[in-house]
Chains A and B, each alone.
Chain A
Amino acid sequence: MSVALAVWSLVGALRAARPSGGQLLLAAVLELAILVQAAVAVVLVATGTRPVSVATFAGYLLTIVVLLPAGVFWGLADRSRWGNGVLAITAVTTAVLVLRLEQIWNG
């Protein structure tokens, strides 16, 4: 989902278009999925199933939860192609964070 949003935003930026409602919807669904996943992770950690480095995992988890809303807010304030650029970078970062979280979780 994150990669889809990244590609969509990048295409938008290249076409010099403004961020569209569809992108916002996708971003919202993505954030919802992240929140659910984060809640599951918190419950797992609280009940004893935890990654090797809890501190690192917590840092990444906190980052990924706040990143997308911040990026959307920052991107929308500039309703030009650059807003799409911001969204693209936010989405790419989110994808990277998901991968890192999986790595950390699996040790």
Chain B
Amino acid sequence: MPPSTPPRPPSSSGGRRPAARPAPGARPALRSGPGRVLVAVYAVFALSASARALVQIATDFSAAPLAYLLSALAAAVYVVATVALVRSSERSRRVALVSVTVELVGVLVVGLLSVEDPVAFPDATVWSGFGAGYGYVPLVLPVLGLWWLRSQRPGRRRG
């Protein structure tokens, strides 16, 4: 990531209509504006990954223990990231940063491994094939997440 992200004017984060923007000057909240959409997507993934992991582990754990444990890990990461983004405090911002980074590493490593060594992954996880089964959203999501967290950094110089 380049250290010098182009500065964004403070007003550009909301809609074009002034009435749509509550409380200007407030501390940047991770769950407002574009962050709201991000949280929604994360929530969907937290839910679907959890459900998938639960069903996989509950019904047929011995078939592919590694893949199913990875499913559970992915689910946990999505849940943590969602909660951290919603809470949007200074501490949870760091939690979000860590979980989104883990997510990016996870999707890259699992994606690579599942392509290189399909035998080790007899059943799919959310992160298999770089998230191909989910329209590559798992690959794009952490990048967007990192970008969003970065752009909302409190100490960031503006202008």
A interface residues, Cβ below 8 angstroms from B: 16, 18, 53, 55-56, 59-60, 62-63, 67, 70-71, 74-75, 77-83, 85-86, 89-90, 93
Q: Which of B20, B48, B52 contacts A81 (CB 8 A)?
A: B20
Judge whether A82 and B15 touch: CB under 8 Å.
Answer: yes
Q: In the complex, A18 Cα to B19 Cα: how many Å?
A: 10
Q: In the complex, A18 Cα to B20 Cα: how many Å?
A: 8
23 contacts between A and B (CB under 8 A): A16-B17, A16-B20, A18-B20, A53-B59, A59-B55, A62-B51, A63-B48, A67-B44, A67-B47, A70-B43, A74-B36, A74-B39, A74-B40, A75-B36, A78-B36, A80-B14, A80-B17, A81-B20, A82-B36, A85-B40, A86-B40, A89-B37, A90-B40
Indicate whether A79 sits within 8 Å of B54 (C-beta atoms), given known contacts A16-B15, A63-B47, A71-B40.
no
**Minimum distance in angstroms from B63 CB to a CB of chain A:** 13
Q: Which of A18, A56, A74 contacts B55 (CB 8 A)?
A: A56
Judge whether B15 and A85 touch: CB under 8 Å.
Answer: no
Q: In the complex, A55 Cα to B34 Cα: how many Å?
A: 35
B interface residues, Cβ below 8 angstroms from A: 14-17, 20-21, 32-34, 36-37, 39-41, 43-44, 47-48, 51-52, 54-55, 58-59
Judge whether A79 and B20 touch: CB under 8 Å.
Answer: yes
Judge whether B59 and A55 touch: CB under 8 Å.
Answer: yes
Considering the complex, give the chain B residue whose CB is closest to the CB of A83.
Answer: B36
Q: Kindly list chain A residues whose C-beta atoms are within 8 Å of the C-beta of B54.
A: 59
Q: In the complex, A80 Cα to B36 Cα: how many Å?
A: 10
Considering residues A59, A82, A89, A90, which has the most beta carbons from chain B within 10 angstroms of its beta carbon?
A: A82
Q: Which of B21, B39, B44 contacts A93 (CB 8 A)?
A: B44
Dominant secondary structure at the A interface:
helix
Q: In the complex, A56 Cα to B59 Cα: how many Å?
A: 10
Q: Kindly list chain A residues whose C-beta atoms are within 8 Å of the C-beta of B14.
A: 80
Considering the complex, give the chain A residue whose CB is closest to the CB of B45.
Answer: A93
Q: Kindly list chain A residues whose C-beta atoms are within 8 Å of the C-beta of B20.
A: 16, 18, 79-81
